[in-house]
């Protein structure tokens, strides 16, 4: 939503100010220049990221959606982990084996649909609960394994943001390419009258304008939004990691969840009492 609002505000200011000074908006419509800029930029990115285009294409629509990891999501996540850890503390690790092996059919997971539908979060949580149930790993070994997995996940999820950032970096250069080609065309048309030459020179300069505008006005912000979403996803995994490690180190479920709460960003972090009341209501 904010992406669209930002685009509308930016375009209104830039194009409105241009028209205000007497500029003709129709002059900015130069299809051949746009083809050169987009074709060159996207072609170069295909050459660089051809094997990763699938995840990139899937990630692009997410920039127009709000964050999936808001306060409500974390409240459900903590309530679910509290229930899991409480069950382990009362009935032993083997009591959650069925929930971990089949989270889709687990009554415990089904109580929290917002969390259950995120397969990355569920897979990460279940994998380490499974290690706690059947493995002999200590907290330090599990922590190291978690760090490696989170780093790998972050690197893979960061590819679309990296793609968009490099595309934004390249578009001004392709705008210059379009402008130079326009100048070359103009130099070959010096026999035309001055009014026609003026149109050709103006069309050539539009290439430089479009390359810079598209880079810093459109694709650069998209790269930032994608990077923010990657960081939000990694923060969720970090929160799960801290909560589970606290439990492994012998802390009670209430305290382990508090460890995880402290890892949240302050802008969406619930208060201790707010989370406690919510956990109690879900458990009841």
SS3 (DSSP) at 260 = helix
Q: 250 in a domain, yes or no?
A: yes
Which residues neighbour 206 within 8 Å (Cβ) at sequence distance 6 or greater? 27, 28, 30, 33, 179, 182
Residue 249's H or E segment, with its range, is none
- Which residue is associated with the tokens 């390249």? 170
- Res. 191: pLDDT tops 90: no
Q: 12 in a domain, yes or no?
A: no
- Res. 199: pLDDT tops 90: no
- Res. 67: pLDDT tops 90: no
Q: How many domains does one find in the chain?
A: 1
pLDDT of residue 135: 66
pLDDT of residue 260: 93
d(CA 218, CA 6): 9
Tell which residue, 244, 238, 224, 202, has the closest CA to residue 120. 238
Backbone angles phi, psi at 142, to 5 degrees: -65, -40
pLDDT of residue 138: 80
Q: 221 in a domain, yes or no?
A: yes
10 Å Cβ neighbour count for 75? 21
| pLDDT average, residue stretch 39-67 | 88
Q: 21 in a domain, yes or no?
A: no
pLDDT of residue 284: 63
d(CA 103, CA 98): 8
- CB-CB contact of 171 with 163 (8 Å): no
**Full-prediction pTM beyond 0.75?**
yes
- Res. 143: pLDDT tops 70: yes
| pLDDT average, residue stretch 81-91 | 90
Q: 13 in a domain, yes or no?
A: no
d(CA 150, CA 240): 11
Q: 3 in a domain, yes or no?
A: no
Q: 182 in a domain, yes or no?
A: yes
Tell which residue, 106, 146, 153, 130, has the closest CA to residue 239. 146
| pLDDT average, residue stretch 137-165 | 90
| pLDDT average, residue stretch 81-85 | 92
Full domain range(s) for residue 269: 31-284
Q: 270 in a domain, yes or no?
A: yes
């Amino acid at each position: 939503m904010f992406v669209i609002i930002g685009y509308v505000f930016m375009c209104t200011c830039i194009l409105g100010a241009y028209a205000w000074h007497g500029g003709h908006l129709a002059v900015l419509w130069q299809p051949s220049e746009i083809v050169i800029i987009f074709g060159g930029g996207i072609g170069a990115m295909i050459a660089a990221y051809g094997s990763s285009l699938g995840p990139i294409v899937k990630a692009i629509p997410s920039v127009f959606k709000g964050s999936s990891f808001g306060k409500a999501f974390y409240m459900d996540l903590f309530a679910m982990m509290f229930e899991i850890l409480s069950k382990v503390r009362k009935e032993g690790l083997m009591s959650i084996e069925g929930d971990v092996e089949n989270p889709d059919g687990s009554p415990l997971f089904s109580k929290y649909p917002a969390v259950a539908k995120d397969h990355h979060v569920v897979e990460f949580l279940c994998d380490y609960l499974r290690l706690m149930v059947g493995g002999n790993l200590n907290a330090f070994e599990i922590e190291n394994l978690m760090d490696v997995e989170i780093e790998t996940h972050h690197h893979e999820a960061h590819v679309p943001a990296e793609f968009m950032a490099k595309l934004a970096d390249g578009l001004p250069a392709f705008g210059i390419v379009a402008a130079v080609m326009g100048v070359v065309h103009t130099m070959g048309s010096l026999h035309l009258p001055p009014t026609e030459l003026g149109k050709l020179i103006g069309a050539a300069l539009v290439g430089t304008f479009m390359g810079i505008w598209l880079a810093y006005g459109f694709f650069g912000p998209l790269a930032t939004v994608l990077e923010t979403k990657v960081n939000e996803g990694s923060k969720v995994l970090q929160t799960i990691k801290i909560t589970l490690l606290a439990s492994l180190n012998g802390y009670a479920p209430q305290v382990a969840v508090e460890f995880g709460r402290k890892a949240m960003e302050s802008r969406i972090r619930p208060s201790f009492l707010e989370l406690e009341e919510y956990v109690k209501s879900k458990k009841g």
